[in-house]
Amino acid sequence: MTGHGFRSLARTVLGDMGHRWEVLEAMLSHALVNQTAAAYVRTAYFEERRGIMQQWADSLDKAEAGAEVIPLRA
């Protein structure tokens, strides 16, 4: 798993949870492909992003609480 892999995993799971794609893309600092939209969209969705990240953290905490942790050797 790589850093980008974790970003991809989070983007996929959060999308499956029903969060809006434009907010998720903003969270990943992805540029809008549509040049017209890019010229007019100025919001950063901070309040919505805060809620999404709390939901993501809660999801990870829940997974960790019920997970069997297997230590990795270096």
Residue 71 lies in a domain: no
Residue 34 lies in a domain: yes
Distance CA 58, CA 74 (A): 29
Residue 73 lies in a domain: no
Q: What is the pLDDT of residue 64?
A: 85
User: In the structure, what pLDDT confidence band is assigned to residue 47 with cuts at 50, 70 and 90?
Assistant: very high
Residue 46 lies in a domain: yes
More confident residue, 44 or 12: 12
Q: Provide the number of structural domains found in the chain.
A: 1
Give residue 58's domain range. 3-65
Residue 74 lies in a domain: no
Residue 72 lies in a domain: no
pLDDT of 43 above 90 = no
- Cα angle 4, 14, 38; round to 5: 75
pLDDT of 19 above 90 = yes
User: In the structure, what pLDDT confidence band is assigned to residue 39 with cuts at 50, 70 and 90?
Assistant: low
pLDDT of 20 above 70 = yes
